[in-house]
């Protein structure tokens, strides 16, 4: 009788122990479900979300993750925590507390890669947040003038009405144009290439800006058509800096004389350097990779090709975004000088193959989605925990069977 009762007790204990093991395994699997991670562009009130913007994620009204914008208009690696019961549930996103205009995104169990997702949020209580539209109809990009004073004209529109239109040349002062929906303004060009900016403002203070690039002013009747040459001696391609401000320097030459040298960072405004045949300028970089462009203009208005150098600004305590390899390019030569050229009208500089192996670099201002800029993050269960539970259960069964005998 005791043996029978002992066997019955052992069978019951075996069943109970098996249930405990299975429940423990299921609980651990659920608890170790990796978070979903999202990256992409983020727009707030019709403009790229500024640095410091806070993005949060919720499931069933419960907070599940947050991240902060470090590069304007881009967020990276927003973790959204969850477990198996959340599989298929919709995720709600907020941008600085405003609900993002995005639906249809659900939490997915056991996903170990970054999911691309753009977010847009607007403060509807703020009233009119739509900027006016504006176009420049004259002059056209690429036009050349033999007089310094020209008329710029165009159109503008806004659903709440256009308040005013302003125009400027390069980084000069804004001047108010005559008219609003149809407008014009007289401006004075500098010798050589000029960038003309125009912006419209509506009654709510929203502003829309466009620009026309490469309008040139050359001296009338000049027979000089040979452009000057310009080179960058410092910084070198691939240099990395821990401060945002750096000095760019180099040389320029022309058989008729160099009128000026201009420098810009990225797609910013051209600024005039100090000096001509030997020149320098102080520029301010953004975090990550920066393209510094330089061009020279001779005394009759002929511009040189634009020379460029790619460098990095990595503040202390941040991960390096720059390459230490040398980028090389010079028109019609074997890449060796570490200088990159591009057409004056261009905005993009493509580095040539580095002369020596270098660590690859990813521009910081690009979209977080797209061509794999975000590395996959492997999060998930503890390796081998399923085997651990299986072996433990098997040993327990063997032990109890031996006890039953």
Interval 84-110: pLDDT, tens: 888 889 999 999 999 998 777 898 887
pLDDT at 114: 86
pLDDT at 297: 92
Quick check: 21 and 394 in contact, CB under 8 A? no
Can you read off the two tokens belonging to residue 389? 């539970």
* Strands, sheet with 192-202, edge to edge from the N-terminal-most edge strand: 144-145, 207-217, 192-202, 162-169, 175-176
Same fold? 133-217, 229-342:
yes
pLDDT at 24: 54
pLDDT at 336: 32
Quick check: 135 and 155 in contact, CB under 8 A? yes
pLDDT at 370: 37
Domain ranges in the chain are: 1-29, 39-126, 133-217, 229-342
Instruction: Classify domain 229-342 by CATH number.
Output: 2.60.40.10
pLDDT at 265: 94
Is the pLDDT confidence value at 340 over 50? no
pLDDT at 122: 83
Is the pLDDT confidence value at 120 over 50? yes
Q: How confident is the model at residue 272 (pLDDT cuts 50, 70, 90)?
A: very high
Q: How confident is the model at residue 14 (pLDDT cuts 50, 70, 90)?
A: low
Cα 6 versus chain centre, distance: 71
CATH topology assigned to domain 39-126:
Immunoglobulin-like (2.60.40)
pTM of the full predicted structure? 0.46
pLDDT at 48: 86
List the single range of 76-80, 177-181, 308-312, 342-346 with lowest mean pLDDT.
342-346
Among residues 40, 114, 117, which one has the least CA distance to residue 73? 40
pLDDT at 391: 66
To the nearest whole percent, how much of the chain has pLDDT over 70? Answer: 68
**What would the pLDDT profile of 23-78 be if each residue is shown by its tens digit?**
555 554 444 578 899 999 999 887 888 889 999 999 999 999 999 998 888 998 89
Q: How confident is the model at residue 359 (pLDDT cuts 50, 70, 90)?
A: very low
**What would the pLDDT profile of 129-186 be if each residue is shown by its tens digit?**
778 999 999 999 889 898 999 999 999 999 888 999 999 998 889 999 999 999 999 9
To the nearest whole percent, how much of the chain has pLDDT over 90? Answer: 41
Q: What contacts 54, CB < 8 A, 6 or more positions away?
A: 66, 67, 68, 69, 95, 96, 97
List the single range of 109-113, 242-246, 307-311, 377-381 with lowest mean pLDDT.
377-381
**What would the pLDDT profile of 175-222 be if each residue is shown by its tens digit?**
999 999 999 999 999 888 899 999 998 877 778 877 776 788 888 767
Sign of CA dihedral 178, 183, 184, 189: positive
* Helix, coil or strand: residue 85: helix
pLDDT at 214: 76
List the single range of 127-136, 238-247, 252-261 with lowest mean pLDDT.
127-136
Three-state helix/strand/coil letters over 320-345 = CCCCCCCCCCCCCCCCCCCCEEECCC
- Give, in order, the Cα–Cα distances in Å from 279 to each of 237, 246, 369: 18, 14, 40
Between 204 and 388, where is the model more confident? 204
pLDDT at 126: 63
Domain formed by 133-217, architecture? Sandwich (2.60)
CA distance 133 to 232: 39
């Amino acid at each position: 009788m005791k043996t029978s009762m002992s066997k019955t007790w052992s069978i019951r204990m075996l069943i109970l122990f098996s249930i405990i093991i299975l429940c423990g395994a299921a609980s651990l699997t659920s608890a170790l479900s990796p978070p979903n991670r999202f990256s992409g562009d983020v727009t707030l009130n019709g403009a790229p979300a500024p640095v410091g913007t806070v993005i949060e994620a919720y499931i069933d009204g419960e907070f599940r993750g947050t991240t902060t914008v470090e590069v304007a208009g881009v967020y990276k690696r927003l973790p959204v925590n969850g477990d198996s019961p959340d599989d298929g549930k919709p995720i709600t996103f907020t941008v600085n507390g405003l609900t993002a205009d995005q639906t249809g995104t659900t939490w997915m169990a056991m996903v170990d890669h970054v999911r691309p997702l753009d977010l847009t949020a607007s403060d509807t209580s703020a009233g009119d947040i739509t900027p006016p539209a504006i176009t420049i109809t004259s002059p056209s990009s690429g036009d050349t003038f033999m007089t310094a004073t020209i008329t710029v004209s165009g159109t503008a529109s806004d659903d709440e009405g256009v308040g005013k239109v302003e125009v400027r040349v390069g980084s000069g002062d804004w001047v108010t144009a005559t008219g609003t929906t149809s407008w014009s303004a007289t401006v004075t060009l500098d010798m050589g290439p000029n960038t003309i900016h125009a912006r419209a403002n509506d009654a709510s203070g929203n502003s829309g800006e466009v620009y026309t690039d490469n309008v040139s002013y050359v001296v009338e009747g000049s027979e000089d058509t040979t452009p000057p040459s310009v080179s960058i001696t410092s910084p070198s391609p691939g240099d990395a800096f821990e401060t945002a401000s750096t000095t760019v320097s180099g040389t320029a030459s022309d058989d008729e004389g160099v009128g000026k040298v201009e420098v810009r960072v990225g797609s910013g405004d051209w600024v005039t350097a100090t000096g001509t045949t030997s020149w320098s300028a102080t520029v301010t970089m953004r975090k990550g990779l920066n393209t510094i462009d330089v061009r020279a203009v001779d005394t009759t208005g002929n511009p040189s090709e634009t020379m460029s150098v790619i460098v990095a600004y990595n503040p202390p305590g941040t991960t390096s975004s720059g390459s230490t390899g040398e980028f090389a390019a010079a028109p019609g030569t074997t890449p060796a000088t570490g200088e990159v050229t591009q057409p004056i009208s261009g905005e993009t500089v493509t580095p040539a193959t580095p002369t020596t192996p270098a660590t690859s670099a990813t521009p910081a201002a690009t979209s977080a989605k797209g061509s794999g800029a975000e590395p996959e993050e492997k999060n998930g269960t503890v390796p081998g925990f399923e085997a651990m539970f299986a072996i433990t259960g098997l040993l327990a069964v063997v032990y109890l069977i031996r006890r039953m005998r």
